[in-house]
Amino acid sequence: MDRRDFLKTSSAAAATAGLGIAAPAVLSPAKADARQETLLIVSESGPNNIDIQGVGTNVPGYEASWNSYDRLLTHAMKTEPNGTQYYDRDKIIPELAEDVAISDMSATFKLRKDATFHDGAPVTAKDVKYSLDRAVTVGGFPTFQMSAGSLTKPEQFVIVDDHTVRVDFLRKDRLTIPDLAVIVPCVINSELVKKHATDADPWGLEFTKQNEAGSGAYKITRWTPGSEVVFERNDSWKCGPLPKIKRVIWRMVPSAGNRRALLERGDADISYDLPNKDFVELKENGKLTIVSTPYSNGIQYIGMNVAIPPFDNLKVRQAVAATIPYQKIMDAVLFGLAKPLFGAAPGTPVTPTWPQPHGYVTDLAKAKQLLSEAGFPDGFETTLSFDLGFAGVNEPLCVLTQESLAQIGIKTTINKIPGANWRTELNKKTMPLFTNVFSGWLDYPEYFFYWCYHGQNSVFNTVNYKSPEMDRLIDSARAAAAIDDTAAYNKDVEGFVALAFHDIPRIPLYQPYVNVAMQKTISGYQYWFHRRLDYRAMVKG
């Protein structure tokens, strides 16, 4: 797609947003205002579902939901030493609630009485209860996310009056309140969704997949899957300062070269999934603002499905871990824009933190020996899968890994899975070898390990790893955190990290960076735990 085609295909949006062919020397005030108040984002892939509680909603879907729905709680922002605005993990503040009272075993939320949904209906306690009931009932990722904060039963959510809701705690859990500030427990227009519910679809998931039912700062006025999403500001929003940006046009442009060209010409305002080489070059030429922030509680990893031979063999997994071309990936794929999670010096003790480096390095002689000891002296054949929605990093990473594995006799066929299907395929747990990113929304080690290593977790434990000792350590750490037993907590975290490195079902590669390129006229970027753009604080001027 060249510049002319890009602008042609967005002509309907461009006509109203002032984003068409190069502006004349003198703009009318109306057109100048339209350009000023419209944010144009280009990315590799877009949402497959705009309902975060839907089935298989992908990562871009987080962005759509975050900006169009409200939650009871949110996080305050803090300024990092490099000037980046970063969510404050430890400072949670009201959003749709105007007041919160937390007691020993419950929290009571007083709702804003002037908050309305996008169709004008008032937001009431029954909408909050419906939304929380839905989240803990629909199953899959949303329900497991709620369970991470010990929110599992509709009976926990009690309507006190039209504008008051109480959340009862099942147990002391320091993750309960933070879990109410993530994307999943968003507040949904219950009456609107109920009109579209059926016996086969009691929660109206088919309707909300393509129709937004929120009260958030932005309304989704148009969504063409695989092409664009258009947001219009909700001028009746009451949960924060009214955003400066009136309109957001988010377009899917698969070619990284075209995304870069659109940025450099000034035809696009923001992009955040260019190849790292482009970010390095763009930063050096100084014409755009480049912000790089490490994923909070996140890693890119190689996963091995321990339920599928030969990856059920520990020595095979160790052999693969000794084969990964770690430094080549850092240099040739990431251009240094990531934090290495490999090569810890021998004897380095694990710490009660996450992420942290493991001790593996590329050692083909050791890998061949381990593979022979595992009973595969001549290697074997398998597939190596990745999410095509993030091909800019995933594809070269897999090619380098494929080349390295071939040197010890493991012959891999690379399997490219479309981004819209990735989450569904991942949850089937049929891929023997794959690369993926996981970033825990709640920035605590036990949260990450609950999702990725606990045997009872059927969503993100995509490597089918089961260890009673791992489960015990994770559960014990959560219990220790709830009562502020630091010594016991640290011991448990050190224990489950060491066990993960020994059993190595996942091979941590690096802690990725969120890299965002934007025009110098754009300000207000904030880093959030979900790693997507928050339009509410952004300014163009």
Asked, for residue 211, whether it belongs to a domain, the answer is no
Beta-carbon-side half-sphere exposure of residue 207 (alpha carbons within 13 Å): 18
Residues 306 and 247 in one domain: no
- Quick check: 394 and 419 in contact, CB under 8 A? no
Q: What is the CATH number of the domain that holds 447?
A: 3.10.105.10
Cβ contact 186:145 at 8 Å: no
Question: pLDDT band at residue 8, thresholds of 50, 70 and 90?
Answer: very low
pLDDT given for residue 20 in this prediction: 33
| pLDDT of the residue at 35 | 73
pLDDT digits (tens, 9 = 90+) for 299-336: 999 999 999 999 999 999 999 999 999 999 999 999 99
Tell me the average pLDDT across 435-454: 95
pLDDT tens digits, 381-395: 999 999 998 898 999
Q: Give the pLDDT of residue 310.
A: 98
- Whether 353 has a pLDDT exceeding 60, the answer reads yes
Beta-bridge partners for 75: 92
254 CB neighbour count, 10 Å cutoff: 15
Residue 5 has pLDDT above 60, yes or no: no
Pairing assessment for the beta strands 539-540 and 410-417 based on DSSP bridges: unpaired
- 451 lies in the same domain as 352: yes
Q: Give the tokens for residue 387.
A: 């999410």
Name the nearest CA neighbour of 388 among 422, 360, 364.
422
- The Cα 457–Cα 438 span in angstroms is 14
Residue 30 has pLDDT above 80, yes or no: no
323 in the same domain as 470: yes
**Whole-number Å distance between alpha carbons of 433 and 412:** 9
The tokens describing 511, both together, are 């802690």
Q: Do 527 and 495 reside in the same domain of the chain? A: no
> Is position 276 within any domain?
no
Is residue 274 situated within a structural domain?
no
User: Residue 264 maps to which CATH number?
Assistant: 3.40.190.10
Q: Read off the pLDDT band of 32 (50, 70, 90).
A: low
High-pLDDT (> 70) share of the chain, %? 94
Tell me: do 178 and 56 sit in the same domain: no
Residue 12 has pLDDT above 50, yes or no: no
Mean pLDDT of the chain, nearest integer: 93
Residue 36 has a pLDDT of: 80
- Rounded mean pLDDT, 18-34: 44
Angle (CA) 194 197 200, round 5°:
155
**Cα R_g (the chain), whole angstroms:** 24
Q: What is the CATH number of the domain that holds 123?
A: 3.90.76.10
* Cα of 320 vs its chain's centroid, Å: 27
Q: Same domain, yes or no, for 374 and 448? A: yes
* 81 is a domain residue: no
Dist. CA 106–CA 102, nearest whole Å: 6
Give the separation between CA 91 and CA 216, rounded to whole angstroms. 21
The tokens describing 56, both together, are: 């298989």
Domain end among 146, 162, 194: 194
**452, 383: one domain:** yes
* Interatomic CA distance for residues 121 and 218, integer angstroms: 16
Which of 118, 204, 171, 141 is closest to 423 using CA atoms? 141
Q: Would you state the pLDDT for residue 29?
A: 52
DSSP 3-state assignment of 295? Answer: coil
Beta strands in 273-346 (DSSP E): 288-294, 298-304, 338-340
pLDDT surpassing 80 at residue 18: no
Question: In this structure, is residue 51 part of a structural domain?
Answer: yes
Out of 131, 163, 194, pick the residue that ends a domain.
194
Which residue segment(s) compose the domain that 105 sits in?
Answer: 87-194
Count structural domains, the chain: 3
Assign 81 to helix, strand or coil.
coil
Query: Is the per-residue pLDDT at 22 higher than 50?
Result: no
Cα 538 to Cα 168: distance, rounded to the nearest angstrom: 36
pLDDT at 459: 80
Per the CB < 8 A criterion, the answer to whether 342 and 326 are in contact is yes
Does the structure show a pLDDT above 50 at 149? yes
By the 8 A CB rule, do 87 and 527 touch?
Answer: yes
Measure Cα distances from 228 to 10, 130, 387 in Å: 9, 30, 20
Query: Is 292 domain-assigned?
Result: no
Q: Are residues 57 and 140 in the same domain?
A: no
Least confident range from 15-24, 178-187, 522-531: namely 15-24
Same domain, 98 and 188: yes
Structure tokens at 116: 């309305």
Asked if 125 and 33 sit in the same domain, the reply is no
Per-residue pLDDT band for 226 (boundaries 50, 70, 90) equals: very high
Tell me, what's the pLDDT at 34?
73
User: What's the confidence (pLDDT) of residue 78?
Assistant: 97
Q: Report whether 337 contacts 275 (CB < 8 A).
A: no
Which residues contact residue 84 at a Cβ distance below 8 angstroms, ignoring those fewer than 6 apart?
Answer: 291, 293, 525, 527
- CB-based contact 303:297 (threshold 8 Å): no
**Whether the predicted pLDDT of 520 surpasses 50:** yes
Model pLDDT, residue 484: 94
pLDDT class for 15, splitting at 50, 70, 90? very low
3-state helix, strand, coil in the chain (%, to 5): 35, 25, 40
pLDDT of residue 510: 98
Q: Are residues 105 and 234 in the same domain?
A: no
Residue 204 lies in a domain: no
Q: Are 112 and 129 in contact (CB under 8 A)?
A: no
pLDDT value for 541: 86
Question: With 50 as the cut, is the pLDDT of residue 33 above it?
Answer: yes
pLDDT tens per residue, range 269-309: 999 888 899 999 999 999 999 999 999 999 999 999 999 99
Domain boundary residue, one of 145, 160, 194: 194
Q: Could you report the per-residue pLDDT of 468-503, keeping only the tens digit for each? A: 999 999 999 999 999 999 999 999 999 999 999 999
Sheet arrangement for strand 85-94: 73-79, 85-94, 526-527
Q: Indicate whether 3 pLDDT > 60.
A: no
CB 245 within 8 A of CB 223: no
Average of per-residue pLDDT across 357-373:
98
Beta bridge partners of 539: 523
**Burial class of residue 110 (count of CB atoms within 10 Å of its CB; 0-12, 13-18, 19+):** middle
Long-range contact set of residues 341-349: C-beta below 8 Å, sequence gap at least 24: 341/299, 341/508, 341/509, 341/510, 341/511, 342/508, 342/509, 342/510, 349/494
Residue 152 has a CB neighbour count (10 Å cut-off) of: 15
Task: Please check whether residue 54 lies inside any domain of the structure.
Answer: yes
CA–CA gap between residue 529 and residue 296 (Å, rounded): 6
Do 174 and 136 share a structural domain?
Answer: yes
Q: With cut-offs at 50, 70 and 90, classify the pLDDT of residue 7.
A: very low
